[in-house]
Structure 1
Amino acid sequence: MLRRNFLRSGAAVAGGALLLGGGAAARVAAAARLTRRAAPIADAGAFPRFVNPLPRPARVDLTSGGTANLVMAQTTQDLIGGGLGLSTPVWGIGLHKALADGIEESVPVASPGPTLVARADTPVVLTWQNALPARHLLPVDVSRHWAFSDTGYTIAENGVPAIVHLHGGHTEARSDGHPEAWYTATGTVGSLYQGPRFTHENSQEAATLWYHDHTMGITRLNVYAGLAGFYLLRDERELAHIAANRLPSGPYEIELMVQDRTFRPDGRLAYPAADAQWPGQVGTHSQFFGEVVLVNGKAWPYLEVEPRQYRVRLLNGANSRFFRLSVNGRWPFPVWVIGGDGGFLERPQLLDRPLLIAPAERIDLVLDFREVAGGTFDVGNDAAAPFPHGPAVTSPTDRVMQFRVNQPYDRSVPEPTLPSALRESAYQVPGTPVRTRRLLLAQTIHEDGRAVPMLGTCERGVLGWSDPVTEAPGYGDTETWELYNATDQTHAVHLHLVQFEVLGEAPFEAEQDPETKALSRVSLGSFRRPNGAEAAPKDTVRVPPHHMLRLRAHFDRRGEYVWHCHLLEHEDHDMMRKFVVA
């Protein structure tokens, strides 16, 4: 488990002062010293913060439906910035789309990929080309179950396997991006491969969705390499709010993908091999916490804004890191929560505490800068890694990005007035539950001594990927799932296919079988109802340690899907199970 205590090599540049204060020549000299270091990790504290403008992903309009061709390929980007000249090979997404009258639209390969903007009940067909090279950017742990296990395939001969999942999408099984539906540039395919054309009917309400790689056993590596992007879904309700000037829109609607990465001295991405013992490493590789915070693919950027309201679509795209965001523990300007993963809250809620967001969660916000013209605000992070009982966060990952309220106010654009109600009533999953499942989150020790987080049922204990399916809802069934977290850290549990309703959570005590990890004699403490974005439609939910979280979901598409922890190292290390809608 990779904690925050990497041992720096050589003499550290104190607080990045040399880089920030010495001009271009000093920055270049400092970069040269970084590249000469012998250790595999560059000193993240030497990288300057808040000197890079925030990139904004290209947006592609798919609201009229139709088709688009996307490609996964390698490119080079300056993720670190600051004038250091350290370019980073990454895997990104490009797009080609035919328009009317022979006009074509192309978006170059980049990470994050282009933001796809679609419309509810207007299908789109996406064809994904795998053009990844025959060498991974990062070390692949072949001792774990992954796409090529027991096949005889190798990346050098067969290419890198990849498959894209539309996270949060109400998607038919063949287009869901199942981990075993992967394919390579050479035509080698997984057991559930059904082609590279994915149909998204968009049969759900407006939401902040995202797409990312979901390949069996190497999702953590492919996403870390860069295969991710936003997918914004509009519907009539949202468009009516925008038309009536009740929500910020146009240039005042911004998506923010927050991630963490670690770099080698020459600017390449760094990630440990299975048998690597990096200086200062403690434990096993069941989690990874990078030391450089990226927003939209740039280290610690700043965003210049007008003294007005902005809509921010926030995504935690990190592998394992939680973020708890604030400005010195508070919000010096109003922050309204208006939605969660899959849609709007019933009404806007004013945020009165730091904002906690787990990997894969999305939160829809309105930030109001009207009363803070001229201000500069560093958005900080104080979430322990692992969360919540790991070491306290320290510099440089205690900062995420900076807002500068320094742009002239455009009086030609009318200021929106947030509605008192965003939807007709509180979100509820339809149907009466036909059964309640008691599901388990637990940790075991692998035969090689590594800690392995796993899923299962309270009655049977932990179960692996290849164990028989235990979750098989009937077509059209509504079910209650109770998630019992018997570990000491918070997990982010994601169900494919559905947007579920969080009913609440409670601490629990139980007896646990030392071998199977099954629970018995379970007693619950006081029950807490959802608040904030938890009350919106959800597809990913935080389950605190030694708590039971209860949710309700409606299963209305047939086929095989998966549910898993979205801490990607956990997912890849067997914390994922199939479910089948019969």
Structure 2
Amino acid sequence: MKHYLLRGGLIFLLLSLTSIIPCTGQVELDPLSQPKFVNALPFPETLSGTYHVMTLSEFRQGLGVYDPSTLSDPEPTEFEPLVWGYNGSYPGPTIEAFSDTQIQVKWINDLPKGNVLENHLFRIDPSIHWAGKIMGEEGHKVKELSGIPTITHLHGGHSEAASDGHPEAWYTPGFMETGPQFYENNGLFTYHNDQEAATLWYHDHTLGITRLNVYAGLAGFYILRDTWEKNLGLPSDNYEIPLVIQDRRFYDNGELYYPYEQEYLEDPLEHHLPDSEVTVLPEMFGDFILVNGKAWPYVEVEPRKYRLRLLNGSDSRFYDLFLPGVDFYQIGSDGGLLDAPILRDRLLIGPGERLDVIVDFSDPAIDGQTLILKNNARSPFPYGETANPRTSGQIMAFKVVLEMEEGEVDNSIIPQSLRPAEFEVGEAINTRQLVLFEGTDEYGRLKPMLGTAEEGRLEFTEPVTETPELHTVEEWEIYNTTADAHPIHLHLVHFQVINTQKFNTRKFVEGDPSSIQLLGQPKPPSEENAGRKDTFIVLPGEVTRVKALFDREGLYVWHCHILSHEDFDMMRPFEVIKKTEEIAGVDNTIFINDLSAEPLEKLEIAPNPVRDVTRIRFSFRNNSEVLIQIHDFSGKVVATPFSGAITANRDYEVLFDRAGLPASTYICKISTNDGRSYEKLIIAQ
């Protein structure tokens, strides 16, 4: 049966599930063939200490999916598909750390070597901007990578740029090839943990194939604790359960299946790529629900309180969770504890978000029962199809069948006050108007993008437009012009949601901020979204206003956490820079970031001050990709004199024409693989 879906003025033809997967002849496994709530919930290993080695590799692991032909056997055959993981486990081990105690993690890439297009578990789309694409080349040319590229990001971590896991900081096994933002740390990342207790997670973040690498299994929990939280009396130890929820699809031989073909209402021959089997999807929704790497598992619980740390690790699926007959007490969100617990009967959670909740199973009315955690969210959210109550509408089961030991008492509590002080970022000194767009690319494929109200939609590769100054607070207004909800994630920071407000999307003109027509009154965030957030669901036709303190220098990214969206092309860089008075206050001084000044051999601007044309001369000790940009004092890029590759130990000269720029003081920034440098540039009358 065919379904027609209206998306942002475009009509797409979606094919419902059939037993035969188009173009391959392979058969997809029917989720209704599988038993539910027969797999015990797995608990990944917990790692403590201050140094860890995490090896990324390929292996086989049972995911709680069975060969349907053996289900009548006393011991049915559990498939063991190929997966990727950390230290031989999917999900990876849970890293447990403590606030203000620095740890180091060595991330070793031992994924398959050889041709990356042939050895990835899933089909890579070489037409989009990804780690293996040759920059500046037309067509679908791919770098000669010697293995699978990867880079690990600590989601929610307050990380320095060198340890953030920038999508262009990827590396292949043995560091044979590296991305343009790769730091020479050989995969050894430092996490200072200078933040409060929270539920974080780590996952792959490789440019253009994040959705594929995470789907293969590259994800795990990172639990940060502190003394304050420990002394609250919350359920702990065996009564604290991290749960990562992910949807998947399978071939009938038990191997993971990631769909790769999208047919459009228009003539496919007119819009398809040369190889129609390698097209990126607008979203990906699985019909098997895995929790901690097992399909529809169960966990046996005692009649007492449990703390559940919930993580939506899915590609595109939102979850509207409910446990019939039982309420949730939400105590925390992405970045830590809320001010006070909130009684909730449903929990909406978008991709990348975390919820910290307490569930009390002590009611005698549910003793001995099996309680099924259910989902009723639409896909795409919020206007798509409702979850199938027989498959994606069921998550896992809680069996209230364990007895507490004689004389044992549940001494855990749900405190009425959870924080020593309210979360408050401070006053913003600058406001930016950012926009979520949706359109099509040259092949007619849906292409979600980010941009600004002033400049319109922007490719990931276009010059940085968001340059907050170090140790300052900014307010970002994020306008959603699309028909979907988008969970927007900012690296580095925990932001405070100020409010949301509707606006007239029909009146909005791309590139014209004056066309923004607000509707109604701003609404303060709901109680559950009033805490520390790093990911927030921006609803269609609404602007979300957030503010954050940018307190680490360096290059980061912000993006939609629907993985299919961030891969193509809903992600943009932002750079936290030294305050302009620090740069301009010292005459003709070059400022280098924390990496090293050694690769820079020469950087000269003459004449300076500039009346008409000046020459920017530079040379480096290493081969490098170089980007030269001119910023005004608001941080906006006003000119890009040079972008390209340079050869070591050669002198280069670029002519810069002021091109109508008004007389003022500007900043010339030169960015390379190894760092960034700044010099004052004065344009005279």
What is the match of residue 45 of structure 1? 32
Choose from 176, 180, 184 the match for 1:191: 180
Aligned-partner Cα distance in 2 for 1:538–1:231: 16
Secondary structure of the 1:158 match is coil
Q: Find out whether 1:69 has 2:24 as its counterpart.
A: no
- Quote how far apart the aligned CAs of 1:310 are: 0.3
What is the match of residue 31 of structure 1? none
Aligned-partner Cα distance in 2 for 1:77–1:446: 38
Aligned-partner Cα distance in 2 for 1:211–1:2: 35
Aligned-partner Cα distance in 1 for 2:525–2:14: 31
What is the match of residue 114 of structure 1? 93
Structure with higher Rg: it is 2
- Quote how far apart the aligned CAs of 1:276 are: 8.3
- Quote how far apart the aligned CAs of 1:417 are: 1.8
- Quote how far apart the aligned CAs of 1:383 are: 0.7
What is the match of residue 173 of structure 1? 161
More displaced stretch, 453-462 vs 167-176: 453-462
Aligned-partner Cα distance in 1 for 2:197–2:15: 38
1:374 partner amino acid: G
- Give the structure-2-normalised TM-score: 0.74
Q: How does 1:109-188 map to 2 (within 5 A)?
A: 109-134=88-113, 135-150=119-134, 157-186=145-174, 187-188=176-177
Aligned-partner Cα distance in 2 for 1:304–1:238: 26
2:576 partner amino acid: V
RMSD across aligned positions (CA): 2.2
**Measured at CA, do residues 413 and 162 of structure 1 come closer, stay the same or move farther in structure 2, by a change above 3 Å?**
farther
Same amino acid, percent of matched pairs: 44
Instruction: Note the alpha carbon deviations across 1:60-100, whole angstroms, 9 max, x for none.
Output: 113xxx21111000111111345332111100101xxxxxx
Choose from 273, 281, 290 the match for 1:294: 290
Choose from 301, 304, 307 the match for 2:303: 307
2:40 partner amino acid: P
Secondary structure of the 1:533 match is helix
- Quote how far apart the aligned CAs of 1:386 are: 0.4
Choose from 394, 418, 423 the match for 1:422: 418
Choose from 544, 556, 560 the match for 1:561: 556
- Quote how far apart the aligned CAs of 1:57 are: 1.1
What is the match of residue 237 of structure 1? 228
Choose from 255, 265, 268 the match for 2:252: 265
What is the match of residue 14 of structure 1? none
What is the match of residue 248 of structure 1? 235
Choose from 469, 477, 486 the match for 2:464: 469
Aligned-partner Cα distance in 2 for 1:342–1:260: 24
1:110 partner amino acid: S
Choose from 59, 62, 66 the match for 1:78: 62
- Quote how far apart the aligned CAs of 1:218 are: 0.3
Aligned-partner Cα distance in 2 for 1:209–1:469: 27
Secondary structure of the 1:420 match is coil
Aligned-partner Cα distance in 2 for 1:148–1:174: 21
2:286 partner amino acid: G
**Measured at CA, do residues 512 and 72 of structure 1 come closer, stay the same or move farther in structure 2, by a change above 3 Å?**
farther
Aligned-partner Cα distance in 2 for 1:519–1:119: 47
What is the match of residue 324 of structure 1? 320
Structure 2: gaps of 5 or more residues: 1-11, 67-75, 114-118, 265-276, 578-685
Q: How does 1:366-381 map to 2 (within 5 A)?
A: 366-371=358-363, 372-381=366-375
Alignment size in residue pairs: 526
Q: Find out whether 1:6 has 2:2 as its counterpart.
A: no
Instruction: Note the alpha carbon deviations across 1:42-62, whole angstroms, 9 max, x for none.
Output: 111111111111111111113
Is the 1:123–1:200 Cα contact (8 Å) retained in structure 2?
A: yes
**Measured at CA, do residues 554 and 146 of structure 1 come closer, stay the same or move farther in structure 2, by a change above 3 Å?**
same
Aligned-partner Cα distance in 2 for 1:190–1:212: 17
**Measured at CA, do residues 189 and 296 of structure 1 come closer, stay the same or move farther in structure 2, by a change above 3 Å?**
same
Which of the pair has the greater relative contact order for Cα pairs under 8 Å at 6+ separation? 1
Aligned-partner Cα distance in 1 for 2:566–2:411: 43
Is the 1:510–1:523 Cα contact (8 Å) retained in structure 2?
A: no
Aligned-partner Cα distance in 2 for 1:315–1:463: 30
What is the match of residue 25 of structure 1? none
Aligned-partner Cα distance in 2 for 1:406–1:2: 47
Is the 2:247–2:286 Cα contact (8 Å) retained in structure 1?
A: yes
Aligned-partner Cα distance in 2 for 1:399–1:275: 26
Is the 2:454–2:511 Cα contact (8 Å) retained in structure 1?
A: no
- Quote how far apart the aligned CAs of 1:349 are: 0.8
Secondary structure of the 1:401 match is strand
Is the 1:309–1:415 Cα contact (8 Å) retained in structure 2?
A: no
1:69 partner amino acid: V
- Give the structure-1-normalised TM-score: 0.87
Structure 1: gaps of 5 or more residues: 11-36, 95-108
Secondary structure of the 1:527 match is strand
